[in-house]
Amino acid sequence: MPPRGDWTTWLILGGRGAGKTRAGAEWVRGMVAGRAPFAGQPAGRIALVGETFADAREVMVEGVSGILAISPRRERPVWQPSRRRLEWANGAVAQLFSAADPESLRGPQFDAAWADELAKWPQAEATWDMLQFGLRLGDRPRQVVTTTPRSVPLLKQLMGDKRTKMTRMSTADNRGNLAPGFLKAVVDRYKGTRLGRQELDGELVEDRDDALWRRAQIHRDRVALKPEIVRVVVAVDPPATSHSKSDACGIVAVGLGTDGRAYVLADRTMYRASPQAWAERAVALYHALEADRLVVEVNQGGEMVAAVVAQVDPAVPVTPVRATRGKWLRAEPVAQLYEQGRVSHVGVLPELEDQMCNFVPAGTSEGASPDRIDALVWALTALMLTAEAKTSVPRVRRFG
């Protein structure tokens, strides 16, 4: 139920499976009906903003806790996928928007809005600003934000806004609606850890003072679109085994721009991956980005690593690299590139950034291997820090 009092933004911070989506969908349903305590009169124009159009559709509209699923048949709106809109019998209309395209919010106007997973939005500030300009209908325009918390500037700004009312929801609060297997496998494993506090308890976890990276630093240099790219490297940090408790396989792609800066393009890290599975994903990313080479750490596999990639596509050039120093020492020169403003993330890479801002000399607070960081370090080292990288002549290419 929405909070009492005078507010503009209802901020719902919740863990995985805590019920955030259901809360947002029920709020929209209550606003459209004009039902107390949601609204005094029906809302006629609603904005539904997700990380992407696909997220807005698959989670907010068509998801198991989305608007269509929770609406009784007599109240269910008509979904028009081609127009990205919902229409109710009373004339109310909800439009879908992507946080990757803030300009699409320029022009439309609303009396209510639901913003989902705001902490993962690729162009958070620009999208939020455009949304606020559009909330100009009715006597009391309002919005609900449902998100798992991450220490990003916009979220912290909203938490400190006097016009914001905040509700916290933990995964455990909703255990009656969750599979027992999920609770045992996930909640028991991460309970009490830094990651668990964020992803299960819905707690905003700030950067660690001794971490090698800072979110503000990453956010400062983030870009929305790829520039002209002259070289691309896909780096892989394969696990030693592929059983249920093995480390993840880090797979990260980084490009070198014509401006001499590095751009982190993708994080395709996967868990419990067999050699065949991670090789197929890495090769697929290699082809999708028209990469120049695959850099693979061979400490755990030696010649086997190159052989696995060759079985998937023998034409892909593989550069084996071997770790001779600890993870922290290998990462320090790469962290310095970030400090110098020479690396940008293209869009938001939440899992990678969470791991980076939780990486300290002793590792991560969860004790897990920093696999995403390892792949990132190998890719940036190959592009920016080796003698070959500093002397080779790049070729300009453009890709979508």
Least confident of 103-112, 218-227, 358-367: 358-367
Which residues of the chain form beta strands (DSSP E)? 9-14, 45-50, 78-80, 85-87, 93-98, 112-116, 142-147, 164-169, 229-237, 250-257, 262-267, 293-297, 318-321, 343-345, 359-360, 363-364
**One-letter amino acid for residue 129 of the chain:** D
Burial class (CB in 10 A: 0-12, 13-18, 19+), 52: middle
DSSP state of 390: H
3-state helix, strand, coil in the chain (%, to 5): 40, 20, 40
pLDDT of residue 327: 84
Q: How confident is the model at residue 300 (pLDDT cuts 50, 70, 90)?
A: low
Region 7-18: what's the mean pLDDT? 94
How many angstroms separate the Cα of 260 from the Cα of each of 264, 265, 371?
13, 15, 26
Asked if 48 and 94 count as a contact pair (C-beta separation under 8 A), the reply is yes
Question: Beta strand 359-360 with 343-345: parallel, antiparallel or unpaired?
Answer: unpaired
Least confident of 58-67, 99-108, 351-360: 351-360
Q: What is the pLDDT of residue 159?
A: 94
Does the pLDDT value for residue 391 go beyond 60?
no
pLDDT surpassing 50 at residue 400: no
Q: Indicate the SS3 state at residue 216.
A: helix
Q: What is the pTM of this model?
A: 0.70
Span 314-321, mean pLDDT?
91
Percentage of the chain lying above the pLDDT 90 cut: 62
pLDDT, position 219: 86
Predicted local distance difference test score (pLDDT) of residue 364: 54
Q: What are 154-209's pLDDT values in tens digits?
A: 999 999 999 999 999 988 888 888 888 887 777 767 776 667 778 888 887 776 77
Mean pLDDT of 291-316: 84
- At residue 362 the predicted structure's pLDDT band, cuts being 50, 70 and 90, is low
Mean pLDDT, all residues of the chain: 88
Q: What is the pLDDT of residue 272?
A: 78
367-383 residues labelled b (16+ CB within 10 A) or e (exposed): eebbbbbbbbbbbbbbb
At position 280, the amino acid (one-letter code) is E
- Angle (CA) 345-290-286 rounded to 5° is 75
Over residues 224-253, the pLDDT tens digits come to 888 999 999 999 998 866 555 567 899 999
Query: Is the confidence at residue 343, as pLDDT, over 90?
Result: yes
Go through 178-207 and write b for each residue having 16 or more CB atoms within 10 A of its CB, e for each that does not.
Answer: beeeebeebbeebeebbbbbbbbbbbbbee
288 compared with 139, residue with greater pLDDT = 288
- pLDDT of amino acid 241: 62
Predicted pLDDT of residue 361: 79
